[in-house]
Structure 1
Amino acid sequence: MAGGFAAGETAFRNLHRARLQNRAENGDTRAESLLRLMAHPQRLLSTILVGKTLCRAAATVLGVSLAPQSWLQSTWGLVGLILLTTVTLFTVSEVLPRALAARATDTVALVLDRPLRLCMFILAPFVKLLSIVTGPFLRVLGADFGQIGTPYTEEEIRTMVDLGEESGVLDREETELVHSVLAFDETLVSAVLTPRVDMVCTPVEATLDDALRRMVAEGYSRLPVFQDGIDHIVGIITLKDMLLAKQAKPDGNAPVSFYMRPAYHVPETKRIDELLREMQLRRLQMVVVSDEYGGTAGLVTLEDLLEEIVGEIRDEHDYDEQPPLVAVDERTVLVDARLGVDEVNDALRVSLPNSQTVGGLVFNTLGRVPELGETVRINNVELRVEQLEGIRVQKVRVHKLRTGTVDLMLMDEDRAAAEGAP
């Protein structure tokens, strides 16, 4: 019986309240019963503690009464009896029941629901006496039995949010916001950076006028400054600093190296939640991302990190930019090849393989540089290269097929050959 009490304690402490509530709402009466039992944590846990204590005391008395008299009359016999009783009680009434309850929490809780209710009724006088005796001490120590059951897990929160959207309590934007917040601490810098091929930089020997003209042409307020190549970023020049410098020296011939700020470098494997805290602490708006070889992988701005939570942020300079994902119809989207695969999965409710970008997924699937108009099929999804710039994929049309699943790559020429086969 002590093992049953121990298993019950572990099971009820590890129960997921959200999962039980969901089952209860769907008409599961057993889940409703467990929730009612969990509503009285102090009474339940006190019953379990009293029950375990009484059972162990009874087991000890039974062990002594059944022990040979020769053991009781010998010092070593008593030591052996104590060790045997302790090991047996610990194994049978603690280790094994708790291990079982940890592996099958819901099942154990459902099995022990009615027995524990019966024990709560039988042991009520003992529990009441225990509460009277220990109550003053608990109040002085500020102790509280609190709630039974584990806190909501991240997966349970996601499930509740999705259910809220399905029931109309939350709209799509609110759901995406919560999912973005939950995924924020799992995202690496490499997933949000602007790659080096898209970086707009200025050489260290450039003048203020050169850098200012480049800023105006590109629409940026900050530029990385490199020396001897883009893999050696030595600083960041800001529009504000340049305007102050121009006010002091109107000729604008001073090199940007006089006014640039030190560049802050981070590895591409850093989590973006850690990076956000660092940027807040150091008051940084832009950081340089370094790869494992010490070269420049790209850069990240504070706006990039905020967009991971709230979505695309557009300012007055972005009026001519196309959004990274455009819905063509309910089963098709046209996406920027730099868009993360997870965003396409969310938009079309599909399960494309984990990859940083849609363009990277096409490259990895083909194993070579794709051609314009080339198509691949993965997990019942068709990806078609819509725009190329050199060897870089710019736009990809993603279409969710209605029936069938093709796990292997299928190129257009292979399809034509298959159709022409007898």
Structure 2
Amino acid sequence: MAVLGEFAPFLIAMLVLAACSAFFSCSEAALFSLQNDDRRKLAASGGPGRLATELLTKPDRLLTAILFWNLIINIMYFALASVIGIQLERQSRVAEAAGVAFAALITLIVCSEMLPKTFGVQQAVPLSKLLGVPLAAAVRVLDPVMPLFGGINRTLVRLAFPTFERESYLEINDLERAITLSTEDEQLASQERSALENIVLLSSLTAEELMRPRRLYQSYAPPVHLEQLGGKLTPSGYLMVTEPDSEEIAAAVPLKHLPNVPKRHLEDFARDVIYVPWCADIASILEQLQEKHREVAAVVNENGETIGIVTLEDILETIFLDDTSRSARLMATSSIHPLGPKVWQVTGITSLRRLGRYFDITPPASKSMTVAGVLQESLQGIPEAGDEVQWGPFAFRVLTAEGNTPLTAELRRLDGRGAPS
């Protein structure tokens, strides 16, 4: 008790510094434990929440500021504790000096590190809103000297690792080798390798190849009521809502994600879509969907007309399903399946890329992306049942093509002389 009264100003100052250290420790744990969904909610909440998410856009700057202020505060804290200890030792009160040093250390560890960080992780979202404004002020105070800290960091890295060089980009073969070495399960390694190949394929796969064509998804002008669906879930799981005065898609209702589907005014639950050109690659579409937190992309042609949609689920199936195809997704049938010896049936929406992979060949150059496009290009018109077309190493005979019936064709492989192989 004598120590408390004798060194009250010093102890009060130490408590204030311990509280400041706890603030920065809690801020670090809370902000850096936020998940993507948490960040989206904070950004949408406005004010302090948006300010907290803005700090996380430059994590190096934020972490540098937190560590700097924590270091300065802790130095001042232990400096005051040392002053108290030195004065007690001069008075030959060694035991009290040791007790003060031990208490100061335990207080800082427990009250300024362990408890604040634990509380920060458990209550990350509400605390981020409260801590955003003062933390942003503390970070901005250091902005003038941030370039200096960055230069020191780069200099130390060069001195400590003078031979350090940036690694080249990983190739698909490097990833396959890593998978093979990391697992003894050959089937699992094969699945992971297939997923990696499909991921790489996204950069060359176009929206036109993957999209659900206009006639294969349902769209309605507002107001939209449940009775219009006939009690059935749409094939894509989304209900397309058009502009009031046109057939262009404006938004999508995620029917399968709604806990309760209302009977009237489904458009009130619609989410905006993004618009992409027909030639956009799927990798960039996926990136846009993630950045804008959307689930559906409307594919438009050169005239700005909607010709199809690409959903997030379509892209994920392309990555993780080894034998996925648009025919399987949209028509519940295989895109290519044998009818007999050296005879196959193909759907019109089968992509030429899939055709080439199935038969392990490189298809002839074409402006079209699908079998239906090749048939129209070769016939110079709309295919009809019975039409026959020879295209590269294939001979097609149209089986069905009437009205809303999906186009299907019989396919035969030809040898080098143009005869069936």
**TM-score (norm. length: structure 1):** 0.49
User: What TM-score do you get using the length of structure 2 for normalisation?
Assistant: 0.50
